[in-house]
Amino acid sequence: MKLFLASFLHAQLGDFLGQKVAYIDDAAARLRNAPFARAEREAVAKLCSEAIDVTVATTPVNAIRETLEHVDSVYVASGSTFDLLFALRSTGAEAVLKALVKEGLPYAGSSAGAIVAGPSIEPATIMDDPTTAPGLSDYRGLELTEHVVVPHAQGTTGPYTISVIARTVEEYGMRWPLVLLRDEQALVVDDSGAHLV
């Protein structure tokens, strides 16, 4: 299994992605025109030869499987962690994505995309608004890694102040193996283990 979990983009992301990338954009569905969402999509498109947009909430699960079976990697974008997990779970795409990643499809996630890869998104309740996905009652993540990423840990990115980061650590640090990432950092998980880049 190969995971590249970033706070927001990363200088080494292009080395991980490959040429053909499935770009899952559900976390930013409500924010498609937000500057960060446009910048992230444009940056990923420049790092590969083909970026295929996949909106899980509106794409049949068989089409998602077909796309993911014919790409070099999947990139799961930033935005609302709760919207993202709800889209994956409610459509059945969660099982497809997990199975293919466990079979070797490289998974890159940024912010929300990095958080959902872990065992639980519960620590994100302080950073994101869980009420955006009222149908999501189970906060179990994709369980691709034992680590729970806390992105934007430098405390200077938008609403993710140092006090928000500190509250997240205080409330959830004893319950979950948190990995705090600044925006220029990523957690790489592969056969050799987990390490920061």
Is 147 noted as a catalytic residue in this protein? Answer: no
One of 7, 110, 111, 147 is an active-site residue; which one?
Answer: 111
Q: Which helix (H) or strand (E) holds 99?
A: helix 93-102
Tokens in use for 36? 């960060």
One of 152, 163, 192, 195 is an active-site residue; which one?
Answer: 152
Strand partners, 21: 51, 73
- DSSP three-state, residue 88: helix
Q: Residue 124 carries which side chain, given as an amino acid letter?
A: A
Angle (CA) 142-69-120 rounded to 5° is 5
Tokens in use for 106? 């490289």
Instruction: Provide the pairing of β-strand 3-6 with 186-190.
Output: antiparallel
Is 111 noted as a catalytic residue in this protein? Answer: yes
Q: Residue 20 carries which side chain, given as an amino acid letter?
A: K
Question: How far apart, in whole angstroms, are the C-alpha atoms of residue 187 and residue 73?
Answer: 16
**Residue that the structure tokens 């990923």 belong to:** 44
Whether residue 51 contacts residue 44, with contact meaning beta carbons closer than 8 Å, is answered with yes
Active-site residues, by number, are 111, 152
